[in-house]
Amino acid sequence: MKIRFCFLFLLGAIRFLIAQSIDFTHLHVSLELDTNKSAVYGKVQLAFKADTTTDSIYLNGVNMEFEKVTVNNAEVKYASDNKGIWLWPEELLDSNSISIKYTAHPRRGMFFIGWNDETGLSRRQVWTQGQGIDNRHWVPHFDEQTDKLITEIEVLFDSKYEVISNGSLVSKEEEGDQIRWHYKMAKPHSSYLMMLAIGKYALRKTVSKSGVSLWQYYYPDREEDYKWYYYKNEEIFNFLEKEIGVPYPWENYKQVPVQDFQHGAMENTTATIFGDFFLVDEVAFNDRNYTYVNAHELAHQWFGNLVTATGSDEHWLHEGFATYYQWLSEKHLYGQDFFDWERYKAAQMVFEASKIDTVPLGSGKAGSARFYQKGAWVLYMLSESLGKEKFDKVIKYYLEQNAFGLVTTDSLNSAIQQVAGTDYSYFFQKWVYSSGEPAAKVTSKVKEDGVMVFNHTSDSYLNMFFDMKLAIEGQEPSKNELWLITDSASTEFTSMPGQNHRCKYWIVNPNMHVLADITENKPIEYLQIQYEESLALLDRYYAVRNAEQHSLEEKETFLIEVTKNESEFFSVRAEALKQLVEANYPKSDELLLLALQSKDVQLQKEAIKLVKNPEGKLMKAVAELRKGDSYELRESAINTSIAGADPKENAWLNDEFWMENPGVPDNKIAVVVLLYRTAIFQDKEALQDLIDYTSSGYDFLTRINAMQALGALQYFDDEVAANYFDALFSLNRTLSRNARQNLNANYSTESGKEVIDKYVESQMNVWDDFQKRLVNRTFGLNLE
Ligand SMILES: [Zn+2]
């Protein structure tokens, strides 16, 4: 143990020295791939500058075999382990080159999809995912995001497939039935942003207003839905380039969907990869469309790729900015209410994260709700505080000063100092380096003499001023400040309305200006006036949300008015409806019917969740929504309208419509219908279709849906076991985890254990070490 410890310590010391004295400037990798064996045969050439006292070089390269290792064209002494390679050159010059031939069998970083699928249904692809530090699994190099270099990727591959990588396509030459593709970046970037994607794609090229070439890849068989997944693609690009105020920094911009991607998308420089579950059609567009991801990854081309954080503690500078500019794009496309609702949902995620731990945003351990949602919120507040004009100048300065370089939170603060002449250290101290968010419960009322009394409790750490909007009859609403402190306290606020001027309403933290969790308790008549007079969505939403604390008798008239307001944003109407239903308002069914029959699909989706055991007219409305304008809505409608186990009542399950419209992207509708057909009609064909959906012929989401259905049916046999083991060995961790849980559940039953033991017995000589280890871990076995 001691020896190992010293070795690790030494390794750390060597890497520290390298970070100090070597600067890699260029990487050129040539690849050939064996798709059946998931193997990479490569040759990498690296150019670097070093000071001449450097005597060793370390490169990351996981589980690789190396040969022909040269520095400045001379063979060198080298040693390697399963993490990388050390080189000891005789002497170094100011500028140097390394050349290495290698073989890799990546289990991370590069993914081979569908090449061994025996059903012949799966797409066949190869794609990469570099972030955080996984490109080292397919190309040996110094894998540090602080080291920026020009990259070039050459691939020789079957001519029936498209090959996509970073930068410009330098050349594309036939070699027999293969094509050699050569891509090259013009400007330096971090190596985690290198990418490769191979598959059968069609390509549509367009041009931005500024003349940037935009390449949209898609599956030829999904062409008819192109306008839904690449919805407003050019408009998003044009909007963001103008909004950010700095020209798009790279030579072109490509977007490529891939199967079984385990994140949403990845902003590789000039070439974003995204999960093909975003390839929506017109109906799925109302569930989860690609526009927000399109905007988010595009924003990263500036924030993350052009200016790159120095390390994980500054990660919010990537995700916060990308999310904030994504919000602005959504505001541009879908309007102010949509934008405010995004802010509200983001705030709730941040408050949830703060219930779990107290890690501040400026930490590598902050987690995604903080990196993305809180980061975007911090930028929103910064923009509100500086004013848009100054904020835009700050961002332009921040990007231009640090272009193709590295940034920290201090870089942003110093940009503010340079441009606005103000020191924002206190702001970053509070929102980036401190944990938590202000939270308070405020109970307020107006006394006869016009003096307002606020009683507030706060379980949070922050003492701060909040904006308070005060509306007096006959006057424009005024902006005031209210001091809320940590402990339970009472504050009096003199509104001085004068005798003939009644106070109409007041709002603490109007329009949710500050990221603070504030619940206001005030008389219902003031909430109602707040609702009626407010233009800001969140002031109307909070008026309804805070009615929660009132009795049905008090709030019923107000909430009915909101529920019926057809011009209102869906979330406000849904909140009012929910409170009425939950408080057992006697005419709830009428209001539910109204919502289900509205033209607002988002309201329909919320309303149907509130329907229990529908009958008569309500049942009819639910049944109609089985073919509604969203797959989530259709699924809820199917589940809500199943009428017991009577086959006659459920005959609609046998309509051909369901298999013709199985649900995009994950065949969820087909799976749900097949589940009911199996359970209600003992339909053998339906069961077989479900089993087929768990096979390697399908994407990971479809397979997971089908596994859950078979789990609900408690069905398990030899064929299912084989499909689950295949899923267990998938490098898609979500699929693998689901397979493990399902296999474990079956292993705990007598008959399930028998099937699994038999399968393990038959395969143990076929499996490789990785597979055996996984099987051992899953079942507590001891295969060798
Ligand atoms: Zn991102």
By three-state DSSP, how is residue 77 classified? strand
Which range, of 293-297, 306-310, 455-459, averages the lowest pLDDT? 455-459
201-301 and 307-433 share one fold: yes
* Eight-class DSSP state of 303: B
State the distance from the centre of ligand 1 to the C-alpha of 635, rounded, in angstroms: 30
- Tell me the CA–centroid distance for residue 368 and ligand 1, in Å: 10
DSSP state of 765: T
Q: Is the pLDDT of residue 421 over 80?
A: yes
How far out from the chain centre does Cα 784 lie?
A: 39
Assign 492 a pLDDT band (cuts: 50, 70, 90).
confident
What does the pLDDT look like over 371-418, one tens digit per residue?
A: 999 999 999 999 999 999 999 999 999 999 999 999 999 999 999 999
Q: With respect to CATH, is domain 201-301 assigned 1.10.390.10? A: yes
| Ligand 1 mean position, distance from CA 113 (Å) | 24
The first and second tokens of residue 750, run together, are 């007598």
Residue 452 has pLDDT above 70, yes or no: yes
Tell how far the Cα of 82 is from the centroid of ligand 1, in angstroms. Answer: 30
Cα 191 to ligand 1 centre (Å): 17
What DSSP character marks residue 627? Answer: G
- The domains of the chain are located at 201-301, 307-433, 439-627, 645-779
Tell me how far the alpha carbon of residue 322 lies from the centroid of ligand 1, in angstroms.
6
Residue at token pair 């849980």: 741
**How far is the centre of ligand 1, averaged over its atoms, from the C-alpha of 633 (Å)?**
28
Give burial (CB, 10 Å; 0-12/13-18/19+) of 546: buried
Distance 140 CA to ligand 1 centre (A): 25
Distances, alpha carbon 353 to alpha carbons 350, 438, 440, in Å: 5, 13, 17
- Confidence grade of residue 5 (pLDDT, cut at 50, 70, 90): very low
**Placement of tokens 């089908």 in the chain:** 706
Over the stretch 653-687, which tens digit does the pLDDT of each residue have?
Answer: 999 999 999 999 999 999 999 999 999 999 999 99
What spacing in Å lies between the alpha carbon of 589 and ligand 1's midpoint? 43
**Which CATH superfamily does the domain covering 307-433 fall into?**
Neutral Protease Domain 2 (1.10.390.10)
Nearest to 375 by CA among 313, 467, 420, 438: 313
Between 438 and 754, residue with greater pLDDT: 754
Give residue-wise pLDDT tens across range 89-126.
998 998 999 999 999 999 999 999 999 999 999 999 99
202-260 pLDDT, tens digit each: 999 999 999 999 999 999 999 999 999 999 999 999 999 999 999 999 999 999 999 99
684-693 and 700-713 helices cross at what angle (nearest 10)?
A: 140
In the three-class reduction of DSSP (H, G, I as helix; E, B as strand; rest coil), residue 663 is classed as coil
Alpha carbon of 378 to ligand 1 centroid (Å):
16
Q: How far is the CA of 733 from the centre of ligand 1 (A)?
A: 20
Distance 352 CA to ligand 1 centre (A): 20
pLDDT digits (tens, 9 = 90+) for 523-552: 999 999 999 999 999 999 999 999 999 999
Distance between Cα 379 and ligand 1 center (Å):
15
**Comparing C-alpha atoms, which of 177, 25, 245, 123 is closest to residue 700?**
123
Q: How far is the CA of 367 from the centre of ligand 1 (A)?
A: 13
Residue 19 has pLDDT above 60, yes or no: no
pLDDT category at 460 given cuts 50, 70, 90 is low
pLDDT of residue 339 exceeding 60, the answer is: yes
HSE of 122 in the Cβ direction (CA atoms, 13 Å)?
25
Are 202 and 214 a contacting pair, CB within 8 Å? no
Q: How far is the CA of 338 from the centre of ligand 1 (A)?
A: 20
Ligand 1 center to 306 CA (angstroms): 14
Residue 152: its pLDDT value, please? 98
Ligand 1 centroid – CA 143 distance (Å): 20
**Interacting residues of 414 by C-beta distance below 8 A, sequence separation 6+:** none
Residue 4 identity: R
In this prediction, residue 473 carries a pLDDT of 82
* CA of residue 318 to ligand 1 center, whole Å: 7
> With left for phi above 0 and alpha for psi between -120 and 50, is residue 206 left, alpha or beta?
beta
The alpha carbon of 323 and the centre of ligand 1 are apart by a number of angstroms equal to 7
Per-residue DSSP letter, 24: E
324 Cα–ligand 1 center, Å = 10
**Separation of CA 477 from chain center:** 39
Residue 691's nearest CA partner among 624, 683, 247 is 683
User: From the CA of 315, how far away is ligand 1's center (Å)?
Assistant: 10
pLDDT average, residue stretch 740-760: 97
409 alpha carbon – ligand 1 mean position (Å) = 17
> How far is ligand 1, taken at its centre, from the CA of residue 266, in Å?
7
pLDDT tops 70 at residue 779: yes
Largest Cα–Cα distance in the chain?
94
Question: pLDDT digits over 158-199, tens only?
Answer: 999 999 999 999 999 999 999 999 999 999 999 999 999 999
